[in-house]
Amino acid sequence: MDLGSGIIKFYGSCPGGLMKKLLRENLDQVRKIKSLQTTYAKDALYGCLYACGGDLGIANNFIGAIDSLDELSINNYEKDVSILWPVIYRHAESLKSLKLHSTPEYYDFITVTPAIARRVVAGFPQLTHLTVDISAREAERLFEEATGSSDRGQLRESTTIDELVKMDHLKEIQLAINLDDRSSVFAGENKYDVMGSNSFPNVNVKNTLALARAIFNKFRQSSVQSSLEKVGIRFSRHCFSDRFQYDIVMTTVQVIRDGPDFKTEGDGEWDWNPERVSMGLWDQIVQADSEITRRAD
């Protein structure tokens, strides 16, 4: 980790001890960070082995100590992030990229609700890249509307996408959608054999690209001034890896504006979650925690 680069990535960790050490010993450099990626978790669990030791205030203080972030990416494990939003809003005028979504290893909740989306629309004037969750059900409804398979006369509640399409300055939106094991319009049923192995049926690329195009069109219909150039959809699914360890697989499809038409990317095949803590970062985290323990003694 090169603090002087202004780019900090904690990957699958929310290292409270290391954050404290950096604030204590390198505050001037922390203040100059421009890009931060971290997990947001109070307690350690599989997928986030190093967390904030029960105190999310450590992560909040670290983010809040930075003068003006350009990019902020948070993989969230906490159902209640109300104490996080005021810290994020400190960077509302400078943020160009915001990635805030729940990590579905254990939980199935949406970090950015329609109500929060309305605040994002109103409060981040420089934002050009955004990553948020939407529920599988919301994605299915959008697909049904796009393909004419829904009841168009039926009233429905406002969705996250209904709010986000008002951001005509967005250039790229990435949506994180967690699929359960059941069959859906996006993927077949995920089955397990007696040894616990997963069947991993590929994502239906045709339907997922249709969803991405539908979202693209909603932005265009909302504003002729829309700057949107790319819609990406990252599907995830729970699974078990070696020795029945709980894990997650992901696959991404993208629709990219290409003049009056679209380019598409995505093969529908699943890959293991690539975000892991490097050994170098791991050593720094362990060392910082050891120093805190010695200070406490």
Tell me the per-residue pLDDT of 100-119, one tens digit each, with 9 for 90 and over: 888 665 555 667 788 888 88
**92 has pLDDT over 70:** yes
Phi, psi of 119 (to 5 degrees): -70, -35
Question: Tokens 């050490």 sit at which residue?
Answer: 21
pLDDT digits (tens, 9 = 90+) for 3-40: 889 999 988 788 888 999 999 999 999 999 999 999 88
Identify the CA nearest to 159 among candidates 182, 177, 186: 177
pLDDT digits (tens, 9 = 90+) for 36-60: 999 888 887 766 777 887 889 999 9
Identify the CA nearest to 252 among candidates 230, 273, 269: 269
pLDDT of residue 68: 96
pLDDT of residue 87: 95
Report the 10 Å Cβ neighbour count for 210.
Answer: 18
DSSP 8-state secondary structure symbol assigned to residue 238: E
Q: What is the mean pLDDT of residues 174-199?
A: 82
Q: How confident is the model at residue 275 (pLDDT cuts 50, 70, 90)?
A: low
**297 has pLDDT over 50:** no
Q: Is 127 helix (H, G, I), strand (E, B) or coil?
A: coil
**201 has pLDDT over 60:** yes
Give me the helix-helix angle, 205-222 and 136-147, nearest 10°: 80
Could you tell me if 280 and 287 are in contact, meaning their C-beta atoms sit under 8 angstroms apart?
no
Query: Is beta strand 35-40 parallel, antiparallel or unpaired with respect to 71-76?
Result: parallel
SS3 content of the chain, % helix, strand, coil (to 5): 35, 25, 45
Q: Is 189 helix (H, G, I), strand (E, B) or coil?
A: coil
